[in-house]
Amino acid sequence: MNRRKNKLSKVKRAGQPDWDTMYREGTPPWETGCAAGELVRVLNESKLPRGTLLEIGCGTGADAVCLARTGFEVTAVDSSPTALDRARTRAELAGASIRFVLDDVFKFARTCGAFDVVYDAGFYHFIRRIDLDKFLDLLWRVTRPGSYYFTLAGAAGEEAEDGPPQVSDEEIRLELGRLFECVHLRPFRFESPRRLEGYLGWSCLMRRPIPPCGMFRSNLEQ
């Protein structure tokens, strides 16, 4: 088994991800050193209103820096001290003002309040296999009617043994549709320093509607 598969096996061990060990041992395979190209594309399309933004699982901060430099008030959360040390250095060198938080995002969500935008690149497609309901409860806590949720997730339909966890478009619509209405759901390619063509992914932008008579809370609790 090569080093890449050894690293991925630590992440795929259900319920026991050891993110900090992966960062201490080197650069995890999802870290490219640059902001995600699909994130930049969405920002250029002006689909996200500037305001407060929560990034879940910010890693070494490339996306957080990009978001801060384009006008967002960014709070970036990660449970890896090593990753956050690198993220703080990256932000300082870029002159970006970001609030970095070392915490379990589920604990953080209990008291942090709601944001205008919530973003993750890869957290949803991982956590949905472990505890989807817990994650939906988190999203309910950190958004308000009118908030946006933007996620980049691995797409089903492509054989990639060492790629990201995969989810189908039907699963995304069913799972996230319990809280949000879909703004766009389109395929894209993750950047990869190890492949000429990156892994297939879904760019999913959702918006939380104003719920009539608490309908969406009722759907969540079903």
* Per-residue pLDDT tens over the stretch 141-181: 999 999 999 999 999 988 766 778 899 999 999 999 999 99
Provide the CATH number for the domain around residue 203. Answer: 3.40.50.150
| Mean confidence (pLDDT) of the chain | 87
Residue 115 domain-assigned (yes or no): yes
Q: What is the pTM of this model?
A: 0.85
* Dihedral Cα 45, 112, 143, 34, nearest 10 deg: 30
- Residue 192 confidence (pLDDT) above 90: no
Split at pLDDT 50, 70, 90, the class of 209 is very high
Do residues 126 and 159 touch, judged by C-beta distance below 8 A?
A: no
Let me know how long the chain is: 222
* Residue numbers of the domain that contains 139: 32-221
Residue 125 domain-assigned (yes or no): yes
Residue 18 domain-assigned (yes or no): no
- Residue 10 confidence (pLDDT) above 60: no
Do residues 98 and 68 touch, judged by C-beta distance below 8 A?
A: yes
Mean pLDDT of 58-86: 96
